[in-house]
A and B are shown apart, each in its own frame.
Chain A
Amino acid sequence: MALLELRNITRRFGKLEAVSNVTLDIAAGEFFTLLGPSGCGKTTILRMIAGFDAPDAGSIALDGRPLAGIAPEKRPVHTVFQSYALFPHLTVAGNIAFPLEMAGRTRDEIRRRVGDTLALVHLEDKGDAYPHELSGGQKQRVALARGLVNRPRLLLLDEPLGALDAKLRERMQGELIALQREVGVTFVFVTHAQQEALALSHRIAVMNAGRIEQVDVPEVLYSAPRNRFVADFIGTINLVEVSVTATAPDRLELAAAGLGALTTAPVADAAPGTRGALALRPEHVRIGRAGAPATLKNRVEGTVAEYLFLGDVTVYKVRLADGSRFEALETNAGAGRAQFHAIGERVTLQWRHDAGVFLRD
Chain B
Amino acid sequence: MRAFFCATEARADKLTRWLVTAPPVLFLVVFFVLPALIMAAASLREPGPFGGLAPLAAQGLTLDAYRFVGEDPIYAWILAKSLLVAGLTTLLCLLLAYPLALLISLSPRRRRDFMVLLVILPFASNFLIRIYAWIMILGPLDLLYRSGAVVLGLVYVHLPFMILPLYTNLEKHDPALLEAAQDLGAGAWTRFRRVTWPLSLPGVLSGSALVFIPVLGMFAVPELLGGTGDILIGNLIKEQFLDNRDWPLGATLSLALTAAVLGVAALSAAAARRRRRP
Taking beta carbons and an 8 Å cutoff, which residues of A are in contact with B? 50, 52, 71-74, 77-79, 81, 83, 85-89, 98-99, 102-103, 146-147, 150
**Sample (7) of A-B pairs whose CB atoms are under 8 Å apart:** A71-B187, A72-B179, A73-B182, A83-B176, A85-B179, A98-B184, A150-B185
A81, B185: Cβ atoms under 8 Å? Answer: no
Tally of contact residues, B, Cβ under 8 A? 17
* Inter-chain contacts of A50 with B (CB < 8 A): 183
Given A87-B195, A102-B190, do A81 and B184 touch, yes or no (CB 8 Å)?
no
B176, A85: Cβ atoms under 8 Å? Answer: yes
Chain B interface mostly helix, strand, loop or mixed?
helix
Whether B119 sits at the interface, judged by CB under 8 Å, is no
Q: Among the listed B176, B179, B181, which residue makes an inter-chain contact with A98, where contact means beta carbons less than 8 Å apart?
A: B181
A72, B177: Cβ atoms under 8 Å? Answer: no
Q: Shortest CB–CB separation between residue A160 and chain B, in angstroms?
A: 13
* Inter-chain contacts of A86 with B (CB < 8 A): 180
Which of B177, B183, B187, B198: most chain A CB closer than 10 A? B183
Within 8 A of A (CB), among B143-194: 174, 176-177, 179-187, 190, 194
Extra 8 A-B pairs, beta carbons < 8 Å, given A87-B180, A87-B181, A146-B184: A52-B183, A73-B182, A78-B183, A81-B176, A81-B179, A98-B181, A99-B185, A103-B185
In the bound complex, how far is the Cα of B188 from the Cα of A71, in angstroms?
A: 11
* Inter-chain contacts of B190 with A (CB < 8 A): 102
In the bound complex, how far is the Cα of B73 from the Cα of A31, in angstroms?
A: 75
Taking beta carbons and an 8 Å cutoff, which residues of B are in contact with A? 174, 176-177, 179-187, 190, 194-195, 198-199
Q: Shortest CB–CB separation between residue B117 and chain A, in angstroms?
A: 30
Tell me the nearest residue of chain A to B185, going by C-beta.
A102
* Inter-chain contacts of B187 with A (CB < 8 A): 71, 73
Q: Shortest CB–CB separation between residue B198 and chain A, in angstroms?
A: 5
A88, B180: Cβ atoms under 8 Å? Answer: no
Tell me the nearest residue of chain A to B198, going by C-beta.
A89
In the bound complex, how far is the Cα of B174 from the Cα of A131, in angstroms?
A: 14
B199, A99: Cβ atoms under 8 Å? Answer: no
* Inter-chain contacts of A73 with B (CB < 8 A): 182-187
Given A87-B195, A89-B198, do A99 and B176 touch, yes or no (CB 8 Å)?
no
In the bound complex, how far is the Cα of B199 from the Cα of A300, in angstroms?
A: 66
* Inter-chain contacts of B199 with A (CB < 8 A): 88-89
* Inter-chain contacts of B177 with A (CB < 8 A): 85, 87-88
Which of A52, A81, A98, A150: most chain B CB closer than 10 A? A98
Tell me the nearest residue of chain B to A156, going by C-beta.
B183
Question: Which 9 pairs show the lowest CB-CB distances between chains A and B?
Answer: A102-B185, A85-B180, A85-B176, A99-B184, A79-B183, A89-B198, A72-B182, A73-B182, A73-B185
A85, B182: Cβ atoms under 8 Å? Answer: no
Which of B176, B180, B181, B194: most chain A CB closer than 10 A? B180
In the bound complex, how far is the Cα of B199 from the Cα of A147, in angstroms?
A: 22
Q: Shortest CB–CB separation between residue A94 and chain B, in angstroms?
A: 10
In the bound complex, how far is the Cα of B186 from the Cα of A99, in angstroms?
A: 8
Q: Shortest CB–CB separation between residue A312 and chain B, in angstroms?
A: 39
In the bound complex, how far is the Cα of B185 from the Cα of A98, in angstroms?
A: 9
In the bound complex, how far is the Cα of B174 from the Cα of A99, in angstroms?
A: 19
* Inter-chain contacts of A78 with B (CB < 8 A): 183-184
* Inter-chain contacts of A81 with B (CB < 8 A): 176, 179-180
* Inter-chain contacts of B195 with A (CB < 8 A): 87
In the bound complex, how far is the Cα of B184 from the Cα of A292, in angstroms?
A: 64
In the bound complex, how far is the Cα of B177 from the Cα of A86, in angstroms?
A: 7
